[in-house]
Amino acid sequence: MARDLCVDAVVFDLGNTLLPFGTAEHDEFIERWYSLSGSTTRGISFDLFLEAYQEMVDEEWERRRTSSWESDPLWRSKELLSSLQKSDSDTEGMLPAIVTSHTDAFSECLRFPAPSLEAMEDLLTMRGPSGRKVRLALVSNAMDGAAIRRSLKRSGADLMLDPIVISQEVGVTKPHEVIFKIATDALGIDPRSCAYVGDRFEIDIIGAGRAGMVPVYTRQYETPGEPLKGVEVQAPTIRSLDELPIVLGG
C-alpha cells in the first residue's frame, strides 16, 4: 500500500546526494581526463596537466563569485590548453579530444549506488497531499550536461527523474531561485509542495528555502566544508535517502 508524504514532489541535487562525488571521485576524474585526452602522446606530464587543471578551476571559482556560472567542457578545455601553452607544451589540434574526453571521464566517475536507486523507486510508490503519485526531479550545478545525462541513462535513473535541470544547460546556477523555479514550473507543482534534498547548506538548503521549497539536508557523504561551523540548520537532516519517507511523512 502506498504511503503518504507531505509533498507532491522530491527534487534532488546530484553529487554527494544521489551519488558520491568526493575527493576520490574527483581525483579519478582528473586522472581519467588526462589519460583519455592524448596528453601522454604529446609529452605532457600528469603533474603539468594537474597544474593547468588547478589554474582552470581557480578561474572557474572566480567567475562563480562575480556572475552566473558560465562553464562547460569547451570553456574548461580552452582554459586548460591555454595554461598548458604557457609551458610550451604541444597542444596544437588537441581541443576536440580534450572536450570529448572531459565528458567521457566525468560520466565514468558518476556511479549511482544501488541504495539510491532503491530509495527513488520506493518514493515513486508513494502519494502526496494531492492524492497523486509523488514525482522526482533533479537540479544540479553541473558543468557537463552530456556526462550527467549519460550517467543517468546508464543507471536507469533518467526514467525516474523528470525534469532534469542542469546548470550548464539552462545558464543559471544554485542558489539562484530561477533554477529551482525552472524545476517546479516543469513539474507544475507549487514550490511549497516540493522538497529539495541537497548536501550544501548555502547552495541547496538556503537556495531551495528562498525558492519556497521544503529543504532537506543530507549528510550521507563527506562534503568538504559541510556542515558550516556555528550555523544552525533549520531543516530536516538525514544520513540516508531511505530516511526521506520519515522526515517527509504526511
Whether residue 88 sits in one domain with residue 122: no
Question: What is the DSSP track for 60-88?
Answer: HHHHHHHSS----HHHHHHHHHHHHHTTT
Examine residue 1 and state whether it is found in any structural domain, yes or no: no
Examine residue 156 and state whether it is found in any structural domain, yes or no: yes
Q: In terms of Cα–Cα distance, which of 9, 48, 57 is closest to 160?
A: 9
Instruction: Enumerate helices (H) and strands (E) in the chain, giving the number of each.
Output: 10, 6
pTM exceeds 0.85 for this model = yes
Q: How many CB atoms lie within 10 A of CB 204?
A: 28
Q: Which residue has the higher pLDDT, 13 or 225?
A: 13
C-alpha–C-alpha distance, residues 131 and 145, integer Å: 33
C-alpha–C-alpha distance, residues 119 and 122, integer Å: 5
Full domain range(s) for residue 58: 23-108
Whether residue 123 sits in one domain with residue 237: yes
Using the 3D structure, point to which of 60, 90, 108 is the last residue of a domain.
Answer: 108
Using the 3D structure, point to which of 78, 108, 138 is the last residue of a domain.
Answer: 108
55-91 pLDDT per residue, tens: 999 988 777 665 555 689 999 999 999 999 999 999 9
Mean pLDDT on 38-54: 96
131-158 pLDDT per residue, tens: 999 999 999 999 999 999 999 999 999 9
Using the 3D structure, point to which of 87, 108, 129 is the last residue of a domain.
Answer: 108
Whether residue 99 sits in one domain with residue 195: no
Examine residue 32 and state whether it is found in any structural domain, yes or no: yes
Examine residue 159 and state whether it is found in any structural domain, yes or no: yes
Q: What is the pLDDT of residue 1?
A: 40
Whether residue 122 sits in one domain with residue 80: no
101-118 pLDDT per residue, tens: 999 999 999 999 999 999
Examine residue 75 and state whether it is found in any structural domain, yes or no: yes
C-alpha–C-alpha distance, residues 231 and 229, integer Å: 6
Whether residue 121 sits in one domain with residue 99: no
Q: Domain tally for the chain?
A: 2
Lowest mean pLDDT among 42-46, 122-126, 148-152, 231-235: 231-235
Percent pLDDT > 70 in the chain is 96
Q: Would you call 167 exposed, middle or buried from its count of C-beta atoms within 10 A (0-12, 13-18, 19+)?
A: buried
C-alpha–C-alpha distance, residues 226 and 11, integer Å: 20
Whether residue 157 sits in one domain with residue 115: yes
C-alpha–C-alpha distance, residues 157 and 131, integer Å: 24
